[in-house]
Amino acid sequence: MLEKKMKQGSGFSGEEVIAEFERLTKDAAIVQRETLRRILAENAGVEYLRDLGLAGRTDPDSFRSCVPLATHADLEPYIERIADGDSSPILTAKPATSISLSSGTTQGKRKYLLFNEELVKSTMQIYRTSYAFRNREFPVGNGKALQFIYSSRQTKTKGGLTATTATTNVYRSEEFKATMRDIQSQCCSPDEVIFGSGGADFSQSLYCHLLCGLLAAGEVQIVSATFAHSVVLAFQTFERVWEELCADIRSGEVSPARVTTPAVRNAVEALLGGPMPELADEIARKCVALSNWYGVIPALWPNARYVYGIMTGSMEHYVKKLRHYAGELPLVAAEYGASEGWIGANVEPATPPELATFTVLPDIGYFEFIPLRPLDGGGAAGGGCYAEAEPVGLTEVAVGEQYEVVMTTFAGLYRYRLGDVVEVSGFHNATPKLKFVCRRNLMLSINIDKNSEQDLQLAVDAAARAALAAEKLEVVDYTSHADTSSSTSPGHYVVFLELNAEDAAAVDGDVLQSCCDELDRAFVDAGYVGSRKTKAIGALELRVLQRGTFQKVLRHYLSLGAPVSQFKSPRCVSRSNSGVLQILAACTVKVLFSSAYD
């Protein structure tokens, strides 16, 4: 379809892409059946489907009756065999070209997933679609993009397959490079900055991204990263190192203390081309003139049109800080997907990230949705506790209802429960627009209480507004833990907050006590409230962390091989995640207990 048209054409036509998208979404039910037929026909002889008795049938009814809903745990033994070198058609007829690794920050364990050329194609399709709508709203020319993107470490499985993140697999593909040349501004940074350190030291890559961005300041039209967290991290770093960056530009040499990899330093110094004292002075004047770094992005990159990245789900916490750095520049939420595959595109890019929805591409995979009814008395996101019904098809969902996403892909996932809870906010033609709600399996629970990561976010936001805002205190980052250890009875919630105060230990104790009480009251799940009143759950514990704690958490995950480009702060830390709990404990400067239910 569109992919063939693009290959035959000479360049990118946004209007053609949009026209094709409109056609696909108008015929969504037909397209879905054809997509399932293609997946099952191509993989009819694979072991997984053969053993389930599908017998080559490709219709939705046969597929649903023979193939059960599955989780990663169900497919993990098959994927491990492939990773170990079994080349027989186990999950896909075409061999996997590599292994994709999830970040591991969501559930504490990195998942193995198959990666093949079909995933590259679907990635290019969703990138083209999103870009076409984005460029219609915010047109950009042939300028450059300041992209905070990083490669990840690559390892080899026992069977010789390369294992790395899905994003790195995509970045290294020739089709990705060719498509990016057609559809968007070129990255300011050379490949050596993205790939040079092999993911071993992202800090030098981040420093070089900033330096390369400053050298191309007048050409930059887009500022972006995979996740909003990466953009915020970049400009938090900029606040600390801008004088060093100016010194490098003034001298024409990259600091060997900051950039230790010779190939990376040489590539950036080639862009510098010698001393540039006038540019260094101009950057310094702009930095000094800024008030608390508000609007630093448009100040230094005056031709930037928007800031772009994933800003929903656990990334929504960073939108406020990102908006501070962006000033009046629009924030545009990126596509909706996961390590397992893509789901939807943002075709309304002018919508604020907090309200962003994602329109499902009906030919990118076969989708089902498990209806979820929040049980009575649930919290803001249903308390994470739901009653389930039989899955329905893509075009059978209802506006205003919540569902868990089930996907069947060209990369060996069949009726795979993604674990994402979404709400249908409307339809674009015949295909639904989804709003991300939360992850199902990430929740705080002690007794009969169920509080999801969204409930936690809402509680933190409410407490910050009620108790911290008047003191000009902000929550830099946060996480939580359900403490059910034998040393504490009854169990209770622990919420960890890193504040923007340089000396968190010096923050007024009454302010923090008020914050702690407000946090406790902000969990409105009936199971939690009832358990607190009957003392079945103990008083909420607030632990205030020293500045930089979540930087240490990030470095901890990086040391375990997690990629910075996919890093998400863990919102609920389990007891098994002892490394993170040890960091949080060591960095705690104040401990308070709620008196809200005394």
231-271 residue pLDDT tens: 999 999 999 999 999 999 999 999 888 988 888 888 999 99
% pLDDT > 70, the chain: 88
Placement of tokens 């193939």 in the chain: 67
Closest C-alpha to 489, from 539, 451, 449: 539
Tokens representing 543 are: 């632990």
Residues found in the chain:
598
Q: How confident is the model at residue 414 (pLDDT cuts 50, 70, 90)?
A: very high
User: How far is it, in rounded angstroms, from Cα 554 to Cα 561?
Assistant: 11
18-74 pLDDT, tens per residue? 999 999 999 999 999 999 999 999 999 999 999 999 999 999 999 999 999 999 999
- Among candidates 463, 467, 394, which has minimal Cα distance to 432? 394
pLDDT at 169: 66
Over its C-alpha atoms, the chain yields an Rg (Å, rounded) of 24
Extract the tokens encoding 462: 């409410």
Average pLDDT over residues 510-528: 91
Quick one: which of 247, 240, 235, 237 has its CA closest to 284?
247
Which of 9-23, 366-380, 529-543 has the highest average model confidence (pLDDT)? 529-543
Task: Identify the helix (H) or strand (E) that includes residue 112.
Answer: strand 112-115
- Residue pair 182/105 in contact (Cβ under 8 Å)? The answer is no
pLDDT tens-digit readout, 474-493: 999 999 998 887 666 788 99
pLDDT of 283 strictly over 50? yes
- Residue-by-residue DSSP string for 453-485: HHHHHHHHHHHIIIIIGGGT--EEEEEEEEE--
Domains, the chain, in order of start with CATH, read 139-329 (no CATH), 364-439 (no CATH), 443-593 (3.30.300.30)
| Mean of pLDDT values over 7-11 | 42
Strands (E), 375-474: 386-388, 392-393, 402-408, 416-428, 431-439, 443-444, 451-452
Q: Helices marked H in 216-318 — which ranges?
A: 228-251, 262-272, 277-289, 296-300
592: closest CA among 501, 524, 493, 500?
493
**Best CA proximity match to 339, nearest among 149, 571, 105:** 105
How far apart CA 486 and CA 150 sit, in angstroms, is: 42
| Residue carrying structure tokens 């009251």 | 521
- Convert the pLDDT of each residue in 294-351 to its tens digit: 999 999 999 999 999 999 888 888 999 999 999 999 999 999 988 888 999 999 999 9
Q: Degrees (nearest 5) of the Cα angle 402, 351, 406?
A: 30
Instruction: State how far the Cα of 168 lies from the Cα of 119, in Å rounded to an integer.
Output: 12
Identify the band that residue 598 occupies on the pLDDT scale cut at 50, 70 and 90: confident
Backbone angles phi, psi at 170, to 5 degrees: -70, -45
pLDDT at 97 exceeding the cut of 90 = no
Going by C-alpha positions, the residue among 397, 188, 407 that lies closest to residue 301 is: 188
Looking at residue 506, the DSSP 8-state letter turns out to be G
390 vs 408: CA distance, rounded Å: 16
What local confidence, expressed as pLDDT, does residue 6 receive? 36
- Whether 395 shows a pLDDT value over 90: the answer reads yes
83 against 568, higher pLDDT: 83
Residue 577, classed as helix, strand or coil, is coil
* Beta strands across the sheet bearing 144-148: 186-187, 144-148, 220-227, 306-310, 331-333
Confidence band of 199 (pLDDT split at 50, 70, 90): very low
Residues 208 and 302: beta-carbon distance below 8 Å? no
Overall pTM surpassing 0.75 (yes/no): yes
- Listed ranges 94-108, 170-184, 370-384; the one with the highest mean pLDDT: 94-108
Strands 358-360 and 431-439 turn out to be antiparallel
Task: Give, rounded to a whole angstrom, the gap between the first and last alpha carbons of the chain.
Answer: 64
Q: Which residues pair with 374 in a beta bridge?
A: 386
Nearest to 230 by CA among 126, 330, 308: 308
Q: Which one-letter amino acid corresponds to residue 75?
A: L
CB 595 within 8 A of CB 539: yes
Contact of 300 with 232, CB cutoff 8 Å: no
Residue 333 in tokens: 């939420």
Measured CA to CA, the distance from residue 257 to residue 265 in angstroms comes to 11
Name the region of 12 (left: φ>0; alpha: ψ -120 to 50; beta: rest).
beta
Helix axes 228-251, 319-326, angle to 10 degrees: 40
Q: Distance of CA 87 to CAs 4, 94, 96, 260, Å? A: 29, 10, 9, 40
On the question of pLDDT at 553 being above 50, the answer is yes
Which range is least confidently modeled, 10-14, 307-311, 440-444? 10-14
SS3 71: coil
pLDDT surpassing 60 at residue 452? yes
- Estimate the crossing angle of helix 277-289 against helix 228-251, to 10 degrees: 130
What tokens does 196 get? Answer: 């040079």
Output the CA torsion 504→477→328→246 (10° steps). 70
Whether the pLDDT of residue 379 is over 60: the answer is: no
Q: Does residue 385 have a pLDDT over 70? A: no
Among 319, 349, 339, 239, CA closest to 567: 339
pLDDT value of residue 8: 33
| Token reading at 422 | 């979404």
Mean pLDDT of 93-109: 72
Here the tokens at position 379 are: 């919290």
3-state secondary structure of 44: coil
d(CA 172, CA 9): 23
Enumerate residues 6+ apart whose C-beta is below 8 A from 108.
570, 574, 576, 577
The confidence score (pLDDT) of residue 96 equals 83
